[in-house]
A and B are shown apart, each in its own frame.
Chain A
Amino acid sequence: MRGRRLVLFILLLIFWFVISQEADLQHILAGVLVAFITVWFWQDLDTRQPGILSFRALLKLCRCLVLIVWYIIQSNIAVIKTLLFSNPPVNPVFVEFEPGIKSKWGRILFATCITITPGSVTVDIDPETGRFLVHALTEETADGIVNWRMIDEIKSLETQMQRGAEHVVDNGRLYGFDTGNTRSGNYRSNGD
């Protein structure tokens, strides 16, 4: 717990220095104070955060980020082609599928990846089954999402994080790693 709070504190302090661009006594004191208060205020969220990333997991996450930038460029070109040259302009589809991602953070990461690439938007995720409801601009986009490489990348990142969490449990300290089996309540308000 303390390790995670310390990492959060350091990250917030770095963010403060990058934004303020000053390093005199007043700025340092203000930064330390604000970062400390923020960490203290949000301490209840500790159990919902993923564990501290190992170096390998961090490398994998960076690879995922590079991949997603590449997919953003690709899908932008695809949507521009659809917008300018197809007639009728679109053939939108709602697609429902289960990628088999277990953890909450993994689902959020995948949902963000889907939505950030133009041509597809995650509309809903069932917290129990992990089924995604996605709106896609064309049928080809929908097929592409169901068989997307990012699913395997996120699953492998998940496995790596799980190994790290098991290691932490073996050492006798549970860091509250979310394995996807815990639920914090049903957020779905429409009842379907």
Chain B
Amino acid sequence: MSFSLGTLGLFRFPDPYTRMHAVSISDTLGVGLIVCGLFILSPSWILRIKLAVVLFLFWILNPTMSHLVAKAGIIHGVKPVKGKTGKR
């Protein structure tokens, strides 16, 4: 379901930056729930540790790649949809 929501976000959101937020639903919640399910089903603890390592690596790689895509977009002048910019 979370993967479907991520895909729906790709169609509904207007620019690459906002679409990244939608896709991250599937990357965090979707993968997290799949790993939780497999965690319950797995027969041994070593397999569970492996699953935890996979989830950890996924949650490290996902923000790194999102950051790179966003930064590449800014450097190459991809315009965000009309919004605000503010200093706090």
Contacts and interface: CB of A to CB of B under 8 A. Distances in A.
B80 A94 contact: yes
Contact of B86 (A84, A96, A115, A124): A96
Interface stretch (A32-40, A85-93, A158-166): A85-93
A92 B60 contact: no
Interface of chain A, main secondary structure: mixed
The number of chain A residues touching the other chain, given as a range, is 35 or more
Interface stretch (A2-10, A46-54, A71-79, A149-157): A71-79
Given A18-B50, A73-B29, A83-B5, A95 B22 contact: no
Contacts of B2: 76, 80
B86 A93 contact: yes
A31 interface: no
B22 A79 contact: yes
Residue of B18, B46, B59 with most partner-chain A CB within 10 A: B18
Contact of A83 (B12, B17, B32, B71): B12
Residue of B2, B53, B70 with most partner-chain A CB within 10 A: B70
A112 B60 contact: yes
A123 B63 contact: no
B37 interface: no
B22 to A, nearest CB: 6
